[in-house]
Amino acid sequence: MLGELQNLRNERSTCLYTISSCKTQMEAMDHDMNEQILRFAEDKRELDSLNKELERRVVASETALKKARCNYSIAVDNWGLDEAFSGYYDSSSPEGSASASSVAAKNIVSERNRRRKLNERLFALRSVVPNISKMDKASIIKDAIEYIQELHEQERRIQAEISELESGRSRNRNPFPEIDHGDDPFISKAKKKKIEQSCDSGGSRTSSSSSIEVLELRVSCMGEKTLVISLTCSRKTDTMVKLCEVFESLKLNIITANITAFSGSLSKTVFVQADEVERDQLKIKIEAAIKALNDPQSPMSF
């Protein structure tokens, strides 16, 4: 009986020790969990602070960007007008303020019209120049200057070629000189007839080979009171000279002109000062002048 009671006491002591150990472990686990909760709360507060700072910086950046864009737009609109606005009005006088506002409005309108005309001229210049490196104003003007220099060089080459062709044409104007065989008893009448026929056929071949064969003729508008003539024809002997004669005979107000030679064709581009209503009439005149030049009986073909 006493032994059983002692065993029960031992078991009770073991249970109490186990309970105490579990309680200690639970307290340690609670302490660790509380520390983790505190660290998590601190991290959350720091993250919230960083988010607020980031949002504040984003808002400040957007505000600065909007302000910079607004200042840039105002500076562009008021570019070149500060001197025009200064000295025009007295802020203490209502009449002076009204007159100043009207003068400022007129100056703004005139400045906008000036810029619009400048942009239109740059657009027309960009459409004429074949090779544009960049689309800004400085590059367009630089490319246009280089293109004009190339056209001058091409004009000098063409003038030299025209002079050479004209000299060759003057030498070959009469390829079969007249030979008087009237007193030669050894040449028969049939042989004289053959010589005359060869002269006639040679002259007809020369006139047909030097005629202008038009492949394409276009007359289009370019800006105010400016027409562009684009003529493409076959490349033959004296074609350049005859094209120059055609346009010289029309007595046009030519702004600029250039000729481009390809393998078997010539392309002539002429800028003429004329109204848009004269476009169709000008095309008819050019066709008539070319037809008259190709006509062997016409004075222009000689």
Closest CA to 194 of 207, 210, 181, 209: 181
CB 251 within 8 A of CB 224: no
Q: What is the mean pLDDT of the chain?
A: 74
Give residue 20's pLDDT: 79
Span 41-69, average pLDDT: 82
| Residue whose entry in the numeric block shows the structure tokens 């684009």 | 230
Tens digits of residue pLDDT in 21-51: 788 888 888 888 888 888 888 888 888 888 8
CA gap 208, 214 in Å, rounded: 14
Closest CA to 162 of 253, 271, 247: 247
Closest CA to 274 of 251, 243, 245: 251
Span 217-229, average pLDDT: 84
Give residue 177's pLDDT: 47
Give residue 81's pLDDT: 46
Q: Within 10 Å of residue 168's Cβ, how many Cβ atoms? A: 12
Return the CATH number of the domain spanning residue range 212-302: 3.30.70.260
Span 65-76, average pLDDT: 67
Q: Where are the domains of the chain?
A: 212-302
CA gap 139, 149 in Å, rounded: 15
The whole-model pTM stands at 0.35
**56: CB partners within 8 A, 6+ apart:** none
Axis crossing angle, helix 239-249 with helix 279-294, rounded to the nearest 10: 130
Tens digits of residue pLDDT in 264-299: 888 888 888 888 778 888 888 888 888 888 876 655
Top-confidence residue, 81 or 144: 144
User: Does position 90 have pLDDT exceeding 70, yes or no?
Assistant: no
